[in-house]
Amino acid sequence: MKKLKTALVFALILVLNTTIYAQVSNKKWPDIINKSEPAWFATAEAKAVAENVLLYQRNIGGWPKNIQMQNPLSEVEKQKLIALKPDTKEITTDNRATTQEMLFLSKMYAQTPDERYKAAFLAGFDYLLKAQYANGGWPQFYPLKKGYYTHITYNDDSMANILMVLKECIDKTDYFSIKPTESTLEKAKIAFNKGIDCIIKSQYKQNGVLTAWCAQHDEVTLLPANARAYELASLSGQESVKIVQLLMSIENPSPEVINAVNSAVAWFEKTKITGIREDRVPVPNSKIMEKVLVKDPNAEPLWARFMELTDNTPFFCDRDGIKKASYFEIGQERRTGYNWYTSKPNDVLKKYPAWKKKLKL
C-alpha cells in the first residue's frame, strides 16, 4: 500500500509538472512573455527558455526579430548562435524585438536572481540608448540598415515601446525587477526627453492644424516617409495610438505635450469610421480567412491604418504601391495578410476625459 501511495504521489507530481511545463508548447513568443503567470518564470521550462534568450542576444546588446525563442535548440544551433554573438546585422526593436526580451529577463530575474539575466537586461538597456539619433528618434535597425529602415520608426510601436522601457526605469516603478545604475538613468532621462521632443516636432500639421503621426518619419526632415511599397507616407490610425498613450502617461506634461494629445484626440474623433465592423469568413477549400466589412450600427468605431496627408481619406495599397480607395481593390494576399483597419484609438478616447480631469483642463 505504501508503495502504491508513493507511486500515486509521484504520478501526480509528474502530471502537475507536465501541465506547468507545457505552457509554452502552443504559444507565441510574445504571449509567453506577457500572459504567463509569474510563478511560471521560476520553472525549469522557463529557465530553459531563458538560456535560449541569452544565446540569441548579440554582444551589442540587442536581439533579432520574429524568433520563437521558446523552441528547443540543438547543440549545432547553439554553437551557431555563439558564433553569431559578435555579429551586429539584423539587430532591431521592430516587432517588439529587444524590448520584449528585456521584459522576459526581468520577469525571470524577479523569480530567480541569476546575474546573467541582469547583465543581459542592462546590455539591452545600453543598446537602446546607443541606438538613438541625435534628434531623439530611433531607427528600425541599429547598427543602421540601408533603405527605409533608417527612418524614425513609429511603425508597430517600435519607438513608443523603447520610450516606455526608459520611462518605467526612470520613474523607478516595479515594472522591471532589474534596476539600471543612477548614472545610466541620467542618460536615460536625457534620451527620454529627446524622444518626446522628437515626437512633438514630428506631429504632422495638415493645413496648419496638428493631427497625428506616420508609421515612419524621415530621420532628417522629420516629415512622413514611405516604407514598404504598400506602406506609403500617410497619417496612421494605428501607430498614432501608442504615441498618444505614451504622452498621456507623462506626469506634469508640458504645454506642448498637452497640445499634442488634444490635437491627436481631435483628429481621432474626426477620422473615426462608424456603422461597420470587419469580419473574417473562411474561403471554401482553403485555409484563407477572407475579410469582409459588415454594416453594423452598434459596431465600435474603426480607423484606417493609412490616411491621406492632405485630407485624411483612407487608402489601401498592394505590393505595386498604387493607392486604392478600398481594400477590395487589392489582391487577396495583402488584403488578408495585413491590418488595414484598427479599433485601438477607442482606448485613447475612453481614457481622454479622465486624463483631462486629472490635469484640470
Q: Is the Cα torsion angle 174, 176, 181, 183 positive or negative in sign?
A: negative
Please give the single-letter amino acid code of residue 209.
V
pLDDT tens readout for residues 175-202 = 999 999 999 999 999 999 999 999 999 9
Q: What is the pLDDT of residue 22?
A: 54
**For the residues 271-290, what does the mean pLDDT come to?**
95
Q: What is the pLDDT of residue 139?
A: 98
The CATH class given to the 26-201 domain equals mainly alpha
Query: Residue 325 and residue 338: Cα distance in Å, rounded?
Result: 16
State yes or no: pLDDT of 261 exceeds 80. yes
**Cβ-contact 203, 257 below 8 angstroms:** no
State yes or no: pLDDT of 252 exceeds 70. yes
pTM for the full predicted model: 0.92
* Grid cell 539600471 in the structure block, residue: 180
Beta bridge partners of 141: 92
State yes or no: pLDDT of 14 exceeds 60. no
Equal CATH topology for 26-201 and 203-361? yes
Confidence of residue 15 (pLDDT cuts 50, 70, 90): very low
Q: Is 95 a catalytic residue?
A: yes
Query: Residue 210 and residue 256: Cα distance in Å, rounded?
Result: 11
Confidence of residue 24 (pLDDT cuts 50, 70, 90): confident
Q: What is the pLDDT of residue 303?
A: 98
**For the residues 229-248, what does the mean pLDDT come to?**
98
**For the residues 38-51, what does the mean pLDDT come to?**
98
Q: What is the pLDDT of residue 163?
A: 98
Task: For the chain, give the percent of residues with pLDDT over 70.
Answer: 93
Q: What is the pLDDT of residue 25?
A: 67
Q: What is the pLDDT of residue 26?
A: 84
Query: Residue 291 and residue 335: Cα distance in Å, rounded?
Result: 7
**Cβ-contact 149, 226 below 8 angstroms:** no
Domains of the chain by residue range: 26-201, 203-361
Of the candidates 95, 155, 161, 312, the residue annotated as catalytic is 95
**For the residues 125-138, what does the mean pLDDT come to?**
98
Poorest-confidence range of 23-32, 213-222, 238-247, 336-345?
Answer: 23-32
State yes or no: pLDDT of 13 exceeds 50. no
State yes or no: pLDDT of 1 exceeds 90. no
Return the CATH number of 203-361, one of 3.40.630.40, 1.50.10.20, 3.40.309.10, 3.40.50.1370.
Answer: 1.50.10.20
Query: Residue 184 and residue 292: Cα distance in Å, rounded?
Result: 50
pLDDT tens readout for residues 206-232 = 999 999 999 999 999 999 999 999 999
Query: What's the whole-number average pLDDT of the chain?
Result: 94
State yes or no: pLDDT of 18 exceeds 80. no
Of the candidates 135, 193, 226, 228, the residue annotated as catalytic is 228
